[in-house]
Amino acid sequence: MREYGRRRWIVLCLGLLLCLDPAARAVITRLTPLREVLNSEQLIFTVKVAKLDPDKPAVIFQVEEDLKGKATFRKLPVNLTADSEGQREQHTPKLLKRLADELELVIFASKRAKRYTAFGYTNGTWFQLIGQADDDSSRVRWSFTHCEPYLRRTFKGTTEELKQVIRDGLAGKKKPPEPDAKEEPGLGPEVKAKAKSGAKRG
């Protein structure tokens, strides 16, 4: 009976780990090759910032181009209130300084049941999103969790450069660059004020 109880406890613990909310986990620190990301993620697509509201804080991304798979949703309304990790590190204001109207980003996403886990990228800045699909698969409610500073070791170039790496990698033309273990964790540059104001006028 004691052995049975021990096994049952192990099974319960494993079940809890599998069901653990990804948003409750710490930032990713494992050295992650970009080729692994391209192979494992179900969806890869580009978006543009359709509307940015720093006061809420919130952003709406509009899907522009499907690079791998095809997302059933074409808009991503995102609540930019961070999780506990992101709030502690003030990731929301840091991310807002790196977003602007019409800015292009790359999104990597995978779905399990009705839940999406996604990673956004813009010019050297990585961040995580969690999405909850409605019964209508074209509608997904998204929440920003935190930035992923260690993923700069995976890639840190411009968004345009990443798009080309993805295209070449998926087409088998050129292997993605290897991760740089010596790269310091951090975020990409802030969007210049002139670019932000110009985007708003447009």
pTM assigned to the model: 0.84
The mean pLDDT value for 92-113 works out to: 98
Nearest to 179 by CA among 40, 30, 43, 45: 30
The mean pLDDT value for 139-154 works out to: 98
Q: Cβ of 155: how many Cβ atoms within 10 Å?
A: 24
The mean pLDDT value for 92-103 works out to: 99
**Per-residue pLDDT at 13 exceeds 60:** no
Q: Is residue 187 domain-resident?
A: yes
Q: Is residue 3 domain-resident?
A: no
Q: Is residue 173 domain-resident?
A: yes
Q: Is residue 8 domain-resident?
A: no
Q: Is residue 82 domain-resident?
A: yes
Q: Is residue 174 domain-resident?
A: yes
Q: Is residue 103 domain-resident?
A: yes
The pLDDT of residue 137 is 83
How many independent structural domains does the chain possess?
1
The letter for the amino acid at 98 is: R
Q: Is residue 71 domain-resident?
A: yes
The pLDDT of residue 17 is 36
Structural domain that includes position 138? 25-201
CA-CA distance, 185 to 83, in Å (whole number)?
A: 19
